[in-house]
Amino acid sequence: MDHFCGRQGYRAAQADADRWVFTGEMRDRGRFDEKCAWCEKQDLRITFDVRHVTADGTCQICQACLGRGPVRIEHEGRALAGQERRDCLGELSVRLMHRTCREVLRNLLARSDDPALQEVAVYFDRNMQLSPGRAATLLQALSNSKLDADARIFEVQIRSTAHKQEFGCLSEREKLAVWPVLSPAIRNRLISLGFAPQRYGVLRPKGARLHAERALV
């Protein structure tokens, strides 16, 4: 289906929307190295398989291209549209990402007898995210395990005041383990609060740091 790939392929798909169908198959690479066959967006983790009713093979596209409408998405025998369509795609993505993370955790637990990892797995199942402290436990173990898994697949809860303070209380080694999975915006916020690892932090007057810490209370 090479003639449907790339930006011209996306325009062709729009012009022939009624003949594209989401197969229900999704792929979680567990890494951020996939590319959308239509918009050519890179560094994707999740792709969705779509097929043309008269062509062989499938295209792997991103959620944005799938959600914009040129593909028919069916559930329980009827086509989805609007918010129901977006909700369905979001739920499918979350389920698949959670399953991938659980598989990594399962493989990690099989290689370790650390009871702290068991607690991390329970917490992740309940929250589908990790607190900074639990993320540090997991990511250090993952680094030592040599498993072929991208640490960025795990999302860390860091937006609340309590979680920022929890990150600030981590050891330097723990902070460095968690730092690579945080977004640039969150990193900048932690730097401004004086909570970043020393190699990334900005030296500021003691009074300015005290003021930032008080702002969290």
**Count of H-run helices and E-run strands, the chain:** 9, 5
Please state the rounded mean pLDDT for residues 150-176.
Answer: 96
Task: Tell whether 168 is covered by a domain.
Answer: yes
The predicted pLDDT at position 129 comes to 95
The whole-angstrom separation of Cα 54 and Cα 180 is 44
* Highest-pLDDT range among 7-21, 70-84, 92-106: 92-106
Judge if pTM exceeds 0.85.
no
Same domain, 63 and 100: no
Q: What is the pLDDT of residues 79-109, one digit of tens each?
A: 888 888 889 899 999 999 999 999 999 999 9
- On the question of pLDDT at 4 being above 70, the answer is no
Range of the domain at 111: 95-216
Same domain, 20 and 124: no
Same domain, 146 and 207: yes
Task: Tell whether 89 is covered by a domain.
Answer: no
Confidence class for position 14, pLDDT limits 50, 70, 90:
low
Same domain, 62 and 122: no
Q: What is the pLDDT of residues 24-43, one digit of tens each?
A: 899 998 999 999 998 899 99
Task: Tell whether 65 is covered by a domain.
Answer: yes
Same domain, 22 and 56: yes
Same domain, 189 and 104: yes
The predicted pLDDT at position 16 comes to 59
* Highest-pLDDT range among 7-21, 55-69, 82-96: 82-96
Name the H helices within the chain: 6-15, 63-67, 82-110, 115-127, 132-145, 161-168, 172-178, 184-193, 206-216
The whole-angstrom separation of Cα 140 and Cα 174 is 8
Quote the number of domains for the chain: 2
Burial of 148 (0-12, 13-18, 19+ CB in 10 A): exposed
Please state the rounded mean pLDDT for residues 119-147.
Answer: 95
Angle at 68 between CA 67 and CA 73, to 5 degrees: 50
Taking CA atoms, 210 is separated from 193, 194, 195, in Å, by 9, 9, 11
Same domain, 6 and 101: no
The whole-angstrom separation of Cα 135 and Cα 174 is 9
Task: Tell whether 193 is covered by a domain.
Answer: yes
Confidence class for position 18, pLDDT limits 50, 70, 90:
low
26 is written with which tokens? 């999704």
